[in-house]
Chain A
Amino acid sequence: MKPRFDPTPFLPLPHAHFEILVCLAENEQHGYAIKREIARRTAGRLQLGPGSLYGAIKKLTDDGLIAESDQRPAAHLDDERRHYYRLTAEGQAVLRAEAARLRSLVELAETRFAPARPRRA
């Protein structure tokens, strides 16, 4: 029986890695699309150059969190130069764990720093 995958060693994920996994969680995408999508979603705050983007893709691929996809889009949408990537089951688990971790952090911060309620007169 295959041992259950433990995402803990991958946490916390670097910001760029998290964003890439989020992009691929929606659908399979190629590098340039991932880059554009991240820039759009972060309003230009995170702009990945070719080195950072493919460095992150290589690390995620080596760790088995993403994989190159065999499926190509329809011919009129396809760009032969591109390599498409998809999220693996391990990637999904890690993404879910990282999201949960971030959520708990946000909740903790909200609890501690929530503005005090005004007292009733």
Chain B
Amino acid sequence: MIPLWLYRRLLAFYPADVRREYGALMAEEFRDGWAEARLAGGLALAAFWLHLVRDWAESAAAAHAEIARQDLRSAAGSLRRRPISTGALIVLFGFVISANTVMVVVARCLLWEPLSFEARGPLVVLTQSSATGTPAWQTLPAKLVDQLARESRTMEDVAFVNNFTVFMYGQRHGGYYAAPAAFRNFGITAAAGRLFRDGDGDVAVIGARLWRDRYHGLASAIGSILNFAGRDYRIVGALSQAPGTLNDADLWIPSRPFMYGGVIARLKHGARLRDAQAEWLEFQRREGGRRPAGFTWFRRVNMAPEFDFIIWLCQAAFLIALLLACADLASFQFGHMLRRQRGIAVRMAVGASRGRLLRFLLTESVVTAVLAGAVSLPLSAGLMWFLHAHLDAVGVSSLWGWSEVRLDRVAVLVAIVLSLASGVFSGWFPAWRTINRNPWPMLAPPRGDSRWAVGRLRLALLATQVALAVPLLIFAIAFSVEGSGRLDSGAVRYFKSSLQVTFTFPNRPSPSARDLVNLIQKITSRLQDKGYQAILTDALPFLDDGTPFEYEAAGRHVGRVVHVNSHFFDIPGFRFRRGGRWTPSEERQFPPPVVVNQAIARQAGTVVGKLGDSLTIVNSNGTRVSSRIAGIVDQPPLDLYGSAAQPTIFVPYPFGSPGRLGMVVRFNGDSGSADSARAAIEAAFHEVDPDARPGIQDYGARIQANWIAWRYLAGFLSVAGLLALGLAVTGATAYLAQTFSERSHEVALRCAFGSQIAGIWIWITRQVVRALAAVTILAAGGAYLIKWLPSGMVPATGLALWAGFGFALALLWAAWSAVCWLASRRAAAEPLMSRLRHI
């Protein structure tokens, strides 16, 4: 009979004991009711089924809810018996879950989730890989971008964009030269007027900030004239809001065919990145094959590889901490199950199903984990607030998606899933082991062999906790030591007391490139007269990445070009192997004398290697420049996040883009010297060109601020390490509490025969020392894998690793000794009569 068969399937949704006790009766009930309804006709039959399904859903849910209520009551009673240890575990667990939640949310916002304006399709950008791995925009002439836009089969809204900075009305403003398609890509709309279109001439669209500050948000701004770089532009529209950092752009100007800039486009529906890449390769081959670039996802272009590295490393660290917390919870569960094993055996003996018992036993660990999940929510909110408060100000807010990092529904869901999963994961093994035991021995008092087996299991759990804690502590200490070491290198110390100078012209348009180079030359020589040597470079050490370049012959990126003056080689660590720096008189000679570092000489020995060789450099615009090798130099690392010097070719600064040049002036350290240096710089500017104004910043402080990624990595790893240490201590405490309670008679006997705290301490430690030493050595060996992490951020100095190993082991053993000493003291302090009771 099909309906009865169907109803029996529905019965499977009831708890097992209800099924076993009442299943047959319910089926009989169903059979009678169904027979009656069939006799009554079709309508009654339909009503019968409707009523039955509703009854089934309600009663099955009620039966499960009743069981859950009973289990929860029992779990709450059990947890209340040890409030301090349970509370400590919940708080630590809560910290671990909150850290994991935040890391998942950060990864989702920065790496996984499409950006808000990518709803119509993902954006791609034409880039070339730089030496540090950060994708750099590939620049193209605007007319070539237009041609690509017309011909592309895989991309739409192919747009030219190029950002600029300008002084207008006495203030610094940012803006973009862009094609109209760029607005569509970023989802930007006009709040007043319109956006510019193809074919528009000297028109401009102003950003929300400029509209508010200069035009008070009035519609009368539309149609007014704005003078920019000596040219008049008619304002045709104003924006209310733009996404992310684009909001900082005050001015949007239509691109012109002669300009160079980047390419941003949207993949057509169904097209993949590799299709766009193949199309670009074909396109650039037709155009002469001079630009070995490729399309990259837009959200990757301002994402330095160290951010990826930090996110993944921290995720791994906090995941290990979560496993450690799970091991702690499992250890607690073992203790609880040992305590209530008689009750469980009775339930088994009277026929409780294994599923029911498993559910009963898992409830406790799930309740603990869910309470920890509840604790984790305010902690996650606090942690996210902390990250925004400290990282927004140092430029992290410019990362696309960073503003989305907050405690939203997804974050809450992640916390819930993490806590439930950890609760089930932690409780499963102890529960499974318990329900698979023979109930009769469980009813008897524990015998030696069963105690030994349980003790071994507990020791295995403790060893697992130590094995998980060791690598975390090693990582935390190694990264902290390495970070301090890199920040204290000779080259960084050299810039500790220095000022960065930028050139501004508030009262007139910027001079031409040639005039600017002349001006810079005059100012540097004037500063030299005043006793200050100025370093000029377009890739500020420890801050900026230089422009990627390629060799013409090799047709591939092999390093970066940095435009510098000869004083750049005064930085400690530069040692000329052959040849030497160029003289000031050679700086403007053609072909320019260049200095290559050993990294270039090593990797491209066939191309570079001999002094006086001619070298052709192809820059990012595809322009070829011939040069002459004047020197080969050993170079110190000038990137905080790279442990070795990148392949670099140093070119005299007059051959670079003078607008990108930065000047660094060192002084003697104290604040008085800083003031003198500032005065000297201002005087030099005034003497050379009264219209030029120096923008002066504390360069040493900027380097410290740029160290933020490493500082936070070390900070997060230290938090993970401290959590690991805390969890290992909690695990050790649980292990000792259970061991002492099980072996109370043995402790009593030892005390009766004169053992003191030290004796008990040695006795307990001897039991664990071999296992813990073995896993510590294994885990420390595993932590050595740190050396092979694929990034320049891994600790490179042996000192950092040895410090990591040494301190981690010392910390763990010190923690064990302290916890074990306290437990031994408590055991030894028990009154004589209580001891006699144990005996």
Contacts and interface: CB of A to CB of B under 8 A. Distances in A.
Interface string B48-69: 0001101110111011001000
Interface string A66-99: 0000000000000001110000000000000000
B51 A57 contact: no
Interface string A15-41: 000000000000000011001000000
A35 B48 CA distance: 14
Contact of B55 (A31, A52, A83): A52
Residue among B27, B52, B59, B66 having the largest count of chain A Cβ atoms under 10 Å: B59
B56 A51 contact: yes
Contacts of A81: 24-25, 28
B63 A35 contact: no
B26 interface: yes
A115 B25 CA distance: 49
A49 B52 contact: yes
Interface string B8-51: 00000010001001101111111011000000000000000001
Interface string B723-765: 0000000000000000000000000000000000000000000
Given A58-B18, A59-B66, A53 B29 contact: yes
A50 B58 contact: no
A31 B29 contact: yes
A55 interface: yes
Contacts of B32: 32
Given A49-B51, A49-B55, A51-B58, A32 B63 contact: no
Contacts of A48: 55
Contact of A54 (B25, B33, B66): B25
A51 B14 contact: yes
Interface residues of A, number: 18
Residue among B24, B25, B51 having the largest count of chain A Cβ atoms under 10 Å: B25
A54 B62 contact: no
A50 B55 CA distance: 8
Contacts of A83: 25
Nearest to B60: A51
Residue among A51, A53, A83 having the largest count of chain B Cβ atoms under 10 Å: A51
A64 B160 CA distance: 81
Nearest to A53: B29
A52 to B, nearest CB: 5
B56 A49 contact: yes
A58 B25 contact: no
A71 to B, nearest CB: 18
A48 B25 CA distance: 14
Nearest to A57: B22
Nearest to B52: A49
Contacts of B59: 49, 51-52, 54-55
Contacts of B18: 54-55, 58
Contacts of B22: 54, 57-58
Nearest to B27: A50
A54 B30 CA distance: 12
Contacts of B51: 47, 49
Contacts of B27: 50
A55 B59 CA distance: 7
B56 A32 contact: no
Nearest to B48: A49
A35 B29 CA distance: 9
Contacts of A52: 55, 58-59
A19 B22 CA distance: 20
A32 B28 contact: yes
A86 B518 CA distance: 110
Residue among A48, A52, A54, A83 having the largest count of chain B Cβ atoms under 10 Å: A54
Given A49-B51, A49-B56, A52-B59, A58 B14 contact: no
Contacts of A51: 14, 26, 55-56, 58-60, 63
Contacts of A50: 25-27, 29-30, 33, 52, 55
A74 B22 CA distance: 24
Given A49-B59, A59-B66, A54 B26 contact: yes
A32 B28 CA distance: 9
Interface in B57-97: 58-60, 62-63, 66
Interface string B373-403: 0000000000000000000000000000000
A83 B29 CA distance: 11
A75 B54 CA distance: 36
Contacts of B52: 49-50
Contacts of B62: 55
A31 B32 CA distance: 11
Contacts of A49: 33, 51-52, 54-56, 59
A31 B22 CA distance: 10
A54 B55 contact: no
Residue among B28, B52, B58 having the largest count of chain A Cβ atoms under 10 Å: B28
B4 to A, nearest CB: 12
A31 B25 contact: yes
Contacts of B58: 51-52
Nearest to A56: B59
B439 to A, nearest CB: 22
Contacts of B26: 50-51, 54
A31 B26 CA distance: 9
A54 B26 CA distance: 7
Contacts of B66: 59
A57 B29 CA distance: 13
Contacts of B55: 48-52
A41 B28 CA distance: 22
A47 B48 CA distance: 11
Nearest to B17: A58
Contacts of B56: 49, 51
Given A50-B26, A55-B18, A58-B22, 8 more contacts: A31-B25, A50-B52, A52-B59, A54-B22, A54-B29, A55-B59, A55-B62, A58-B21
The 7 closest A-B pairs by CB, nearest first: A49-B55, A51-B59, A50-B29, A50-B26, A54-B22, A55-B59, A51-B55
9 contacts: A35-B29, A47-B51, A49-B55, A51-B55, A54-B22, A54-B26, A54-B29, A55-B63, A82-B28
Interface of A: 31-32, 35, 47-55, 57-59, 81-83
